[in-house]
Amino acid sequence: MLFALGAILAAAAELPLGGWIQIPILSLIWWQIRKHSSPSFKSTFLLGLSFGLGYFVLGLWWIFISLHDIGGMNVILSCIAVFLLSGLLAIFFSCATLSLKTSRGKFFPGLVLAASWVVTEYFRGIVFTGFPWMGLGETQVYGPFAPVAPYLGGLGCTFFVVLASWQLLSLRVHFKTTTLFLVCAIGLSQVLSLWSFTKPRGEPLTVELIQGNFAQSLVFKPEGMLQQIAFYKSVMIDSKADLVVSPETALPWPETNLPTGTLEDLQDFASKNSRFLLFGVLGRHFNPADGREFSNRAIGLSSGNPPYRYDKSHLVPFGEFIPPGFRWFVNAFSVPLSDFSRGSQNQPLFLINREGQLPLYAAITICYEDVFGNELAARLRNSEESANLFINMTNLAWFGDSQAPAQQLRLSQLRSLETGLPALRATNTGITAVLGPDGTVLAELPKFTQGVLKTTVQSYSGKTPYVIWGNIPILSLSCLLLILGFVRQRRI
């Protein structure tokens, strides 16, 4: 039953009002755990594990596509890998549900559960380099607690989702007080949206986001690489926009080995036409600390500025670096995988200095770097220049026609909500989109089509409370509640 409810909770995230729908489903899950749990911690842990397995198996099934359909891994081994990853992530859910054994009362158990959920989700985002994908907070971009994000981030949204879902359990017995609490919580959340911490800066920027729609299998063949390079080069040179962005590894060769004249022609076009070009390549970035030579790089070319380079900092395990002891797993693939060098977390921003206009700075993220809200907030907080927009470059062709693109789009929307900055997303197969500072999708291209999204984006300046403080406020509150819960339990 709990496995099925976990799967239903994951499926609800994909619905238009998923952030609202998940709350009563979570309430039903808490009711089932409380109903079937025995006095032992083991029972509660296993019930939480069952719910988490259902949630992650359905929510992350697209990893099977990259392992089996594209990577050529044995179907049984691919299924086992997805199941084991789901089980590992479900353990964090199990640990959070254990708090139900340590608190008593009508209202306080909900506070402790919400606090424990925040703390375990925080650790899920940092343990083994972190994988906070499919958090409850990201679905709130279409939910009642989205306005909390600029203040307390995605973890703050998660806190109120769990607390509200727990309070629903009391609706039948304490209808008036429960209804009053839910109305006040949602109402207060909406009131928070009245304050804005960022404001427009300069004139709108004309942009073109290129979606090549190249099959991942082509990247492993020389003729496919040349076809891809020729396409992106041609479209960038034909552009009329101020800023042109191509996806991650749009030019899928090391920059020093690209076809003769590729970078020179692009630089010449940018210089003569006052354009700003941003595209992905394999960079040369020898790191003497780890002996790795290549990086997942974004290159920016413009007139009057030296070439800009951003090397991806938060690498994907197995896809971009091989964890110690897992070479055997990588050898099970029939495609070449990289062992990239890691870029610094605090790299310069991309300067967009149009003639006669205020200079703008873009914070670049590659692939799933926009999953990590606290890291991006720290980058903005520590940067010498103030960022005015995000640019994400990614390639989700590895995951076929699945919900992975929509999931990452929601994560990008949450990042815009947290920071109050607009975002540009240039992807290979989708979803290529422009996001407003409140996370609203302003324009997008259909998935699995080759095209160019031509539009404008208004840059913003300023810092939200979340950028200034990061996760410190919500983690401090959660830890305090957990300590109080422990003290109350000891007194019983």
Verify whether residue 479 is a known catalytic residue: no
- 126 with 374: CB under 8 angstroms? no
Cis peptide before 186 (omega within 30 of 0): no
What is the pairing mode between strands 308-311 and 350-352? Answer: unpaired
- 27 with 165: CB under 8 angstroms? yes
- 371 with 132: CB under 8 angstroms? yes
Of 441, 439, 393, nearest to 420 (Cα)? 439
Verify whether residue 312 is a known catalytic residue: yes
Q: Is the dihedral of CA 472, 21, 16, 195 positive or negative?
A: negative
Among 248, 255, 320, 369, the active-site one is 248
Q: Is the dihedral of CA 468, 151, 345, 232 positive or negative?
A: negative
Among 208, 233, 367, 369, the active-site one is 367
Verify whether residue 79 is a known catalytic residue: no
For residue 195, count CB atoms less than 10 angstroms from its CB and return exposed for 0-12, middle for 13-18, buried for 19 or more: exposed
The residues annotated as belonging to the active site are: 248, 312, 367
